[in-house]
């Protein structure tokens, strides 16, 4: 008869405080999971959510209006559903904050780029409560010498949305404009 001895090594995860969660989520935060579930947080505290399986209405509009009312940008995260079947939103934000202690957290948004003979080159940030403008028609002029990536990065960094832009993914291209998904880094300082 053989006996096996299994030694388990304890895994020490960094402690996550409410201040860590608030720093990562920002003042206003909207999280959508890949199953369609949604949550809205203010100052790191859960406000409300929508259960996609129950066909509850999206809370994205509420989150956008609240951030706009506070004159702040809305941080948005698209995340996978946790592997644990007993997950909670606390588990999700804790893991998000824990990962931010050691690395940059990436964000995504959509922009529309336009180049006209009368007005030159400009970029519009779509669906952002602060950078889209009060009537969702705010355009930022770009230097003709800048490529799209450099110009978009300048607009996002100067407005405090991004530390840097990682890449642009073309979404749609037509004669009047081009749409890009912008993938950017948000630097979280521990």
Q: Which DSSP string do the residues of 57-108 spell out, in sequence order?
A: PP-HHHHHHHHHHTT-PPEEEEEPPPSSTT--HHHHHHHHHHHHHHS-EEEE
For the chain, percent of residues with pLDDT exceeding 90:
44
Distance in angstroms (rounded) separating the CA atoms of residues 165 and 144? 19
CA-CA-CA-CA dihedral for 58, 169, 109, 49, to nearest 10 = 30
Statement: the pTM of the whole predicted model exceeds 0.85: no
Q: Rounded to an integer, what is the distance from CA 106 to the centroid of its chain?
A: 7
Query: What's the sign of the alpha-carbon dihedral 127, 128, 132, 133?
Result: positive
Q: CA angle, corner 159, sides to 153 and 160, nearest 5? A: 90
Lowest mean pLDDT among 3-17, 84-98, 124-138, 159-173: 3-17
For the chain, percent of residues with pLDDT exceeding 70:
88
For tokens 């506070």, what's the residue?
A: 70
Distance in angstroms (rounded) separating the CA atoms of residues 70 and 135? 16
Q: Each residue of 36-67: b (16+ CB within 10 Å) or e?
A: ebbbbbbebebeeebeeeeeeeebbebbbebb
Provide the pLDDT confidence category of residue 17 given band limits of 50, 70 and 90: confident
Other beta carbons within 10 angstroms of residue 28's beta carbon come to: 24
The enclosing H or E element of 23 equals helix 18-25
Q: What is the pLDDT of residues 55-99, one digit of tens each?
A: 999 999 999 999 999 888 888 888 888 888 899 999 999 888 877
């Amino acid at each position: 008869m053989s006996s096996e001895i299994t030694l388990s090594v304890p895994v020490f995860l960094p402690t996550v405080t409410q201040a860590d969660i608030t720093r990562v989520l920002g003042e206003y935060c909207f999280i959508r999971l890949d199953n369609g579930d949604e949550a809205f947080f203010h100052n790191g505290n859960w406000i409300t959510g929508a259960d996609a399986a129950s066909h509850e209405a999206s809370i994205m509009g509420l989150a956008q209006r609240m951030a706009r009312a506070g004159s702040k940008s809305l941080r948005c995260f698209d995340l996978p559903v946790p592997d644990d079947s007993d997950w909670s939103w606390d588990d999700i934000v804790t893991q998000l904050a824990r990962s931010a202690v050691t690395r940059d957290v990436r964000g995504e948004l959509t922009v529309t780029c336009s180049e006209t003979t009368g007005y030159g080159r400009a970029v519009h940030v779509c669906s952002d409560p602060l950078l889209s403008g009060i009537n969702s028609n705010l355009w930022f002029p770009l230097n003709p010498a800048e490529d799209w990536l450099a110009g978009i990065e300048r607009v996002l960094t100067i407005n405090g949305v991004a530390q840097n832009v990682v890449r642009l993914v073309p979404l749609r291209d037509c004669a009047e404009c081009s749409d890009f998904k912008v993938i950017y880094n948000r630097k979280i300082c521990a």
